[in-house]
Amino acid sequence: MRSTARGGRTLVLTFDDGPGPATADVLDVLAQYGVKATFCQIGPQATANPAMVKRILAAGHRLCDHTVHHLQPFAALTHDQQAQEIGPAKDMIARAGGPGTPVPWFRAPGGGFTPANEQVAATFGMRSLTWTVDSLDWTKPGAAAIVAKVQSELRPGGVVLMHDGGGDRTETVAALRQLLPWLTAQGYGFDFPAE
């Protein structure tokens, strides 16, 4: 599933591996530009920081299940192990967000999707959320390199992978400050994934 909900000249911004220390900074930049994004969260981190999960929701962003332990290669786990990573994480994220919190999507760690784990996610009511542009921000190549990669690879309907967790995200936040006005100037609208 790679398409945006609305189609046209839109994109989906996704932030993985949070909530973490950089999530507040990411939210501040998104708010500055009026941009909505999708956050793929690790279950226990959501449990540990329910206030941040609620802040994400209150700002109009949406949530995605990024498993309990972020094990890789995810596709190599047994079916039961994968189910234990997917279902409980959704519960943790939903509980952190409060009653009625939707978690419509699942993203396998490292993009390790298989037909079997996508089916598991479907039984929990979630669609698989892949990406079309890997910003490689987690490799810390410098903000300019993150910006350039997104600028060169993004096409309308694209899904951009970035990270608000998993380590120091200073470069990610700096890249966002450049990317959001550029994307807006390019005529892009910000969307959620198709459900």
Binding-site ranges for Zn ion (CB under 5 A):
16-17, 109
- The answer to whether residue 70 is catalytic is no
Q: Which residue's Cβ lies closest to Zn ion?
A: 16
> Residue by residue, what is the 3-state secondary structure of 146-172?
HHHHHHHHCCCCEEEEEECCCCCCHHH
Q: Is 80 labeled as catalytic in the residue annotation?
A: no
Q: Pick the catalytic residue: 61, 163, 164, 191?
A: 163
Half-sphere exposure of 20 (CA within 13 A, CB side): 19
Residues forming beta bridges with residue 105, ordered by sequence position: 64, 127
Read off the tokens for 108: 């396998």
Q: Which is nearer to Zn ion, 18 or 97 (CB)?
A: 18
Minimal distance, residue 79 CB to Zn ion, in Å: 21
Q: Which is nearer to Zn ion, 16 or 164 (CB)?
A: 16
d(CA 139, CA 143): 11
User: Is the CB of 10 or the CB of 133 nearer to Zn ion?
Assistant: 133
Would you say 16 or 137 has its CB closer to Zn ion? 16
From the CB of 52, what's the least distance to Zn ion, in Å?
17
User: How far is the C-alpha of 66 from the C-alpha of 90, rounded, in Å?
Assistant: 8
Q: Among 16, 17, 164, 191, which one carries the catalytic annotation?
A: 16
Distance from C-alpha of 132 to C-alpha of 154, rounded to nearest angstrom: 8
- The distance of closest approach from Cβ of residue 109 to Zn ion in the complex, given in angstroms and rounded to an integer, is 5
Compute the C-alpha angle 16/167/156, nearest 5°: 35
Least distance (Å) between residue 131 CB and Zn ion: 11
Residues annotated as catalytic are: 16, 163
